[in-house]
Chain A
Amino acid sequence: MFYREAGDFKSSYQEDSQTFPIKFDRLRYYGVLIVAFGIVPLFINDYWASAVAVPFLIYAIAAIGLNILVGYAGLVSLGTGGFMAVGAYSVYKLMTAFPDISIFVHVILAGVVTAAVGVLFGLPSLRIKGFYLAVATLAAQFFLVWLFNKVPWFYNYSASGQITAPERTVFSVFVTGAQTSATAKYMFCLVILTLVALVARNLTRGTVGRKWMAIRDMDIAAEIIGVNPLTTKLSAFAVSSFFIGIAGALFFSVYLGAAEVGEAFGIQKSFLILFMVIIGGLGSIFGSFAGAAFLVLLPVFLKNVLVGALGWPTDLAAHIELMIVGGLIVVFLIAEPHGLAQLWRVAKEKLRLWPFPY
């Protein structure tokens, strides 16, 4: 018996509703935090930061955001890329307009702006569901990209139409701009991801999360027990877009440094984040991490193994990646809507019973 919850009795409801009710889980969680904050920064280099670590951290934020909407509240969105763009352009406008204010504040404010835009585009969800809502959010995606391309004010009338992140520091260390170190990028995104995950966890374990799930599972019954469907759906759009906006702001300012909206925040981004949520597990914060890690690591892994070790051509490796992702989406949608997170839970249950499965 490696893994047990029998005998691990809870003496209070407080302990029972902890994020990780089993002691072993909690220890492992502290272990992850120690490694992430204490050990990785010592060894991280430019390649690992830009190929794996930083995109993973940012996509995890976006996936948590989308998971709140899709997994918890049961609403669909294909507008994630567009909302990330709102975050990116908000942070750009804020950074250039108020250079003296901390980038940290700007990133949060970019989230707030995106939340407002998200609520606006979430209004149709009060009337329509499922496929029709998906189409409405798709329209939002295209409209937002078009808007940021079309209105020069958003890119400060730059000749290229691109936005470029000015240099900014936190505690006198560069976190945006060309001089930023891999460690600084990583740490800045890690701190924000940690905060986002905590807030998401707090929201989903209490009243707000239960309202979202109630609307998702049966909106009629939800209303009968006192859930206002209007404010509940809009709060899901607000919180979801808040996180996605933060992700977009970081993606542009810390990760890319310069961005063209259609390229960085096109419809492919919407699908990428949606796939992360589906593969990782709908309605699970841990699943959002797992899905982001999986889809960030897969191409790196395939490239290193197939192209690097076996000498296959790059485009073949890229096609194989598409096939794997497509296949997995189908498998998870049909067989396991709770994704990698559920597989992990099942594995733990097996371990708990091992070696006596009955």
Chain B
Amino acid sequence: MKDMNEGYLTADGRQIGGVVMELKDITLRFGGLTAIEKISFDIRDGEIRAIIGPNGAGKSSMLNVISGFYVPSDGEVWFKGVRRGPMKPYEIARLGIARTFQNIALFDGMSVLDNIMTGRLTHMKKGLIAQAGWWFTGAAREEYENREKVERIIDFLEIQNIRKTPVGRLPYGLKKRVELARALAAEPKILLLDEPMAGMNVEEKEDMCRFVLDLNDEFGTTIVLIEHDMGVVMDLSDRVVVMDYGKKIGDGAPDEVRNNQAVVDAYLGVAHD
């Protein structure tokens, strides 16, 4: 049904491209604990790739490996056909990988606008001396150009009215949205979302689903998504990786995965402890 080298056509008619990222035999250990054990999967251009699994399965750890926050004990990460050597998280950000965190990680002392502007850092080249000169060195112009991009994201996510609010004062749902805005501001090649809808009410969840679909559709952003709500996963994602106890127990289209016996067991069958 799918030609995996050329990409594939989704049920709703979107063309998915070739492999942008490939994880090969990733293993991650914390002391004696093996959080991820020999997991391999790929991420294709333009797709929405979900990672599901019970709590403690190692999903967040997997995102941390992709974003360079954890260094895998073993295995290889390939990005755009090149094997990624050991890199600092900020170097990986500059390659075009942005993320949100399961526990929101915003800059509480800064306004919503400034938080989102930090997402543009990888695109802003003026150095310290140029910044000091501001009007005379083009730093001001760079600021306004990037501000314009950020304003478009603010419009897209419908957060115009909280632009100047310090982030620390926002309710949880809005914080999640601002964090998404900051990641989007980077115009990433791959966007990693760690439980973007956790703790949201139905309405907020619907909004968030719409944003994820829209930004994949409009900007062609490749998205890796961790989510617990199976309904959401089935609706949003093109392909799903299922993890349990650090192992991969399923990988495929949502329907295939749903009917996979190991997945059914992990989710519905035997309780874990």
Contacts and interface: CB of A to CB of B under 8 A. Distances in A.
A235 B261 CA distance: 56
Contacts of B105: 218, 220-221, 224
A168 to B, nearest CB: 26
B134 A225 contact: no
18 contacts: A13-B151, A206-B134, A206-B139, A206-B143, A210-B114, A213-B109, A214-B107, A217-B109, A218-B105, A221-B107, A223-B89, A223-B93, A225-B93, A225-B121, A225-B182, A226-B93, A227-B121, A228-B90
A224 B93 contact: yes
Contacts of A12: 144
Interface in A180-213: 199, 202-203, 205-208, 210-211, 213
Given A206-B143, A225-B182, A239 B128 contact: yes
A202 B147 contact: no
B110 interface: yes
Q: A208, A211, A224, A283: which has the most chain B beta carbons within 10 Å?
A: A224
Contacts of B122: 225-226
B113 to A, nearest CB: 9
A216 interface: yes
Contacts of B131: 202-203, 206-208
B34 interface: no
Chain A: interface size category: 20 to 34
Interface in B68-94: 69, 88-90, 93-94
A14 interface: yes
A17 interface: yes
B67 interface: yes
Nearest to A216: B109
Interface string B111-131: 000100111011010101001
Chain B: interface size category: 35 or more
Given A206-B139, A206-B143, A224-B90, 14 more contacts: A14-B144, A202-B131, A202-B132, A208-B128, A210-B117, A211-B118, A213-B107, A213-B109, A213-B114, A214-B110, A217-B109, A224-B105, A226-B94, A227-B118
Q: B98, B106, B114, B118: which has the most chain A beta carbons within 10 Å?
A: B118
A17 B107 contact: no
Contacts of B99: 224
Contacts of B114: 210, 213
Contacts of B89: 223-224
B54 interface: no
A214 B110 CA distance: 8
| Those 5 A-B pairs whose CB atoms lie nearest each other, nearest first | A226-B93, A221-B105, A217-B107, A202-B134, A226-B122
Q: B94, B105, B182: which has the most chain A beta carbons within 10 Å?
A: B105
A223 B108 contact: no
Contacts of A229: 90
A13 B148 contact: yes
Given A206-B139, A206-B143, A210-B110, A224 B69 contact: yes
Interface string A1-44: 00000000000111001000000000000000000000000000
B59 to A, nearest CB: 17
Nearest to A283: B109
Contacts of B98: 225
A283 B108 CA distance: 13
B110 to A, nearest CB: 5
A218 B106 contact: yes
A161 B131 CA distance: 41
A199 B137 CA distance: 13
Nearest to A14: B144
A247 B147 CA distance: 34
Contact of B108 (A17, A211, A217, A222): A217
Nearest to A211: B121
A210 B118 contact: yes
Contact of B128 (A13, A203, A213, A223): A203
Nearest to A207: B124
B118 A224 contact: no
Nearest to B168: A217
B66 to A, nearest CB: 11
A217 B110 contact: yes
Contacts of B109: 213, 216-217, 283
Contacts of A216: 107, 109
A236 to B, nearest CB: 10
A226 B122 CA distance: 6
A30 B100 CA distance: 43
Q: A14, A225, A227: which has the most chain B beta carbons within 10 Å?
A: A225
B232 interface: no
Interface string B1-43: 0000000000000000000000000000000000000000000
B101 A225 contact: no
Nearest to B139: A206
